[in-house]
């Protein structure tokens, strides 16, 4: 069975999608990783010792990719249900050891939930994925401006907003390059250029665009393709899946198919 067919098993009916519930669950994981990461930053030496001890156990996997915990084709709930139970058991954390264990569970659960319950479940509904991301960011903005500053009042005294520590010391994904200042924006991407980009997807990676979609048909602003994958479609055809970062939604990677990327390009200019 091809990976494309396996991914179909995670799709859900559109009518069953609860955007608020998905966003709240994502935010729950993000809040825990943010709080524990910030706390452990104050105890870096002990933190590093505990993580080294934790990952010296061959049965414990560092948080690198969701498929480490749930292979494609498996049921994500077999990981999420016990992981959530452990997170609940460790909340509120009483020791540094509790913090290290909790952030380990939360980081892994975050990746698994985002991959299987959001990205793959909503593979056919790009608009709903964006709604989940938008709502999650709203929840997190409220958290950072409220509860987070209450927990760590020293951050409120800084002249500029501190970086949002949304990942634990063990990275949950590859870092994306920071935004660079644009020297200008050229003319709109032409139809011939769009066709050439989609014929050769590798030429898209690393380029930055500024989109201005029609009202009500998407979010404008800077965007870029950070990765793409070639897959076999249902009928044996070759399909490209793009990982897109929209400035409006931070550094969250949004999977898009060729049609969605074409729409983005049709309403974009190339940033220089």
Q: Could you please report the per-residue DSSP string of 80-123?
A: HHHHHHHHHHT-S--SHHHHHHHHHHHHHHHHHIIIIIIITTTT
CB 225 within 8 A of CB 207: yes
Q: What is the mean pLDDT of residues 90-112?
A: 94
Q: Give the residue with greater pLDDT, 234 vs 189.
A: 189
Tell me what pLDDT residue 169 has. Answer: 40
Q: Is the confidence at residue 185, as pLDDT, over 60? A: no
Q: Is the confidence at residue 83, as pLDDT, over 60? A: yes
Q: Give the residue with greater pLDDT, 18 vs 238.
A: 18
Tell me what pLDDT residue 172 has. Answer: 34
Each residue's pLDDT tens digit, 163-180: 443 334 433 333 333 344
Each residue's pLDDT tens digit, 196-212: 888 888 888 888 999 88
For the chain, the structural domain boundaries read 3-157, 185-271
CB 130 within 8 A of CB 18: no
Q: How many residues make up the chain in this entry? A: 272
Share of the chain above pLDDT 70, in %: 80
Tell me what pLDDT residue 162 has. Answer: 38
Tell me what pLDDT residue 209 has. Answer: 92
Each residue's pLDDT tens digit, 48-58: 999 899 989 98
Instruction: Tell me the β-bridge partners of 269.
Output: 188, 210
Q: Give the residue with greater pLDDT, 99 vs 195.
A: 99
CB 105 within 8 A of CB 87: yes
Q: Which residues contact 268 (CB under 8 A, 6 or more apart)?
A: 188, 189, 209, 210, 211, 212, 223
């Amino acid at each position: 069975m091809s990976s494309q067919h396996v991914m179909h098993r995670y799709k859900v009916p559109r009518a069953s999608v609860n955007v608020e519930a998905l966003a709240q669950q994502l935010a729950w994981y993000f809040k825990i990783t943010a709080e524990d990461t910030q706390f452990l930053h104050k105890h870096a030496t002990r933190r590093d010792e505990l993580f080294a001890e934790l990952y010296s156990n061959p049965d414990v996997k560092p948080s690198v990719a969701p498929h480490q915990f749930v292979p494609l084709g498996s049921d994500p709930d077999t990981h999420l249900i016990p992981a959530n139970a452990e997170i609940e058991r460790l909340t509120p954390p009483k020791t540094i050891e509790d913090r290290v264990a909790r952030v380990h569970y939360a980081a892994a659960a975050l990746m698994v939930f985002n991959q299987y319950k959001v990205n793959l479940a909503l593979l056919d509904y790009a608009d709903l994925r964006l709604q989940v991301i938008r709502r999650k960011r709203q929840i997190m903005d409220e958290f950072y401006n409220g509860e987070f500053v209450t927990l760590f009042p020293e951050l409120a005294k800084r002249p500029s907003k501190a970086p949002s520590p949304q990942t634990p010391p063990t990275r949950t994904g590859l870092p994306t390059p920071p935004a660079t200042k644009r020297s200008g924006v050229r003319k709109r991407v032409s139809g011939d250029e769009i066709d050439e980009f989609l014929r050769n997807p590798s030429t898209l990676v690393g380029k930055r665009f500024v989109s201005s979609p029609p009202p009500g048909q998407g979010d404008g602003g800077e965007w870029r393709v950070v990765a793409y994958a070639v897959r076999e479609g249902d009928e044996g055809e070759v399909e490209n899946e793009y990982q897109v970062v929209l400035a409006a939604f931070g550094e969250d990677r949004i999977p898009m198919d060729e049609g969605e990327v074409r729409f983005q390009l049709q309403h974009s200019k190339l940033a220089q």
